[in-house]
């Protein structure tokens, strides 16, 4: 298919596709003569993945680029991609106090989690705890435990539900679940918060 059809199939404007090509987010099509290239299903797929990560996952193009690099790194197995993709999914200017880092390490040990030692998620989590402390809100240990337990249940279910198939599909599914499952989970949590708050501080105007 030509670029116009690729655009139609994915609802991505031609100039944007050209931009992604220039930025190396999308592999060039097969050159046919000097002024046209043929694209295929893999381009449709990749373009949809990019848009999903950007629009729904809220990732920057730079982050998408890193994630795609991991997805395409054939030498990595599914599990390794998870760690690498996590690294690519999150910001890179991380700092955290020693206290929070220790708290995170303890939590991980306590739950018997097997985590890449150099995982940036450790520091990200410690930084998030610090941010709460900084505004004078300490996250209680038992609340943190509730979070951790819930996170473990969710993660187990997510990993168990990953479709088995060729490496490429599994890796894509992994990235998608991680990136797009986040918004789903947060939206559900907010709905549940409304409900919990309604039950506790009961309000008159709740048409259910």
User: What token pair was written down for 107?
Assistant: 């939590």
**Cα distances (angstroms) measured from residue 178 to each of 42, 52, 158, 181, 185:** 21, 12, 9, 5, 10
Cβ(64)–Cβ(26) below 8 Å: no
148 binds, among DNA, a second copy, none (CB under 5 to 8 A by kind): a second copy
Cβ(70)–Cβ(49) below 8 Å: no
Q: 67: helix, coil or strand?
A: helix
200 binds, among a second copy, DNA, none (CB under 5 to 8 A by kind): a second copy
Q: Give whichever of 16 and 119 is closer to DNA, judged by the CB atom.
A: 16
Task: In angstroms, give the least distance from the CB of 72 to a second copy.
Answer: 17
Task: In angstroms, give the least distance from the CB of 84 to DNA.
Answer: 20
Q: Does 4 bind a second copy (CB under 8 A)?
A: no
Contacts with DNA in 9-28 (CB under 7 A)?
A: 13-16, 18-19, 21-22, 28
Cβ(139)–Cβ(129) below 8 Å: yes
Q: Does 8 bind DNA (CB under 7 A)?
A: no
Q: Does 29 bind DNA (CB under 7 A)?
A: yes
Cβ(1)–Cβ(39) below 8 Å: yes
Task: In angstroms, give the least distance from the CB of 179 to DNA.
Answer: 14
Q: Using CB under 7 A, which of 34, 98, 117, 160 touches DNA?
A: 34
Cβ(17)–Cβ(144) below 8 Å: no
Q: Using CB under 8 A, which of 26, 41, 83, 99 touches a second copy?
A: 83
């Amino acid at each position: 298919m030509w670029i116009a059809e690729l655009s139609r199939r994915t609802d991505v404007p031609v100039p944007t596709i050209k931009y992604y090509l220039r930025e190396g987010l999308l592999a060039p099509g097969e050159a046919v003569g000097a002024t046209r290239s043929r694209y295929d299903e893999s381009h449709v797929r990749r373009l949809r993945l990019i848009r999903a990560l950007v629009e729904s996952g809220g990732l920057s193009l730079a982050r998408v680029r890193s994630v795609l690099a991991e997805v395409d790194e054939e030498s990595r197995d599914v599990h390794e991609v998870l760690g690498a993709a996590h690294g690519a999914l999150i910001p890179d200017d991380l700092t955290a106090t020693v206290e929070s880092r220790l708290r995170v390490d303890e939590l991980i040990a306590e739950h018997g989690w097997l985590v890449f030692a150099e995982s940036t998620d450790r520091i990200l989590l410690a930084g998030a705890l610090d941010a709460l402390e900084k505004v004078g809100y300490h996250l209680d240990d038992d609340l943190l435990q509730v979070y951790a337990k819930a996170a473990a249940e969710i993660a187990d279910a997510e990993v168990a539900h990953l479709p088995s198939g060729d490496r490429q599909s599994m890796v894509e599914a992994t990235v998608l679940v991680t990136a797009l499952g986040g918004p789903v989970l947060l939206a559900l949590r907010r709905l549940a918060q409304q409900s919990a708050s309604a039950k506790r501080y009961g309000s008159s105007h709740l048409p259910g």
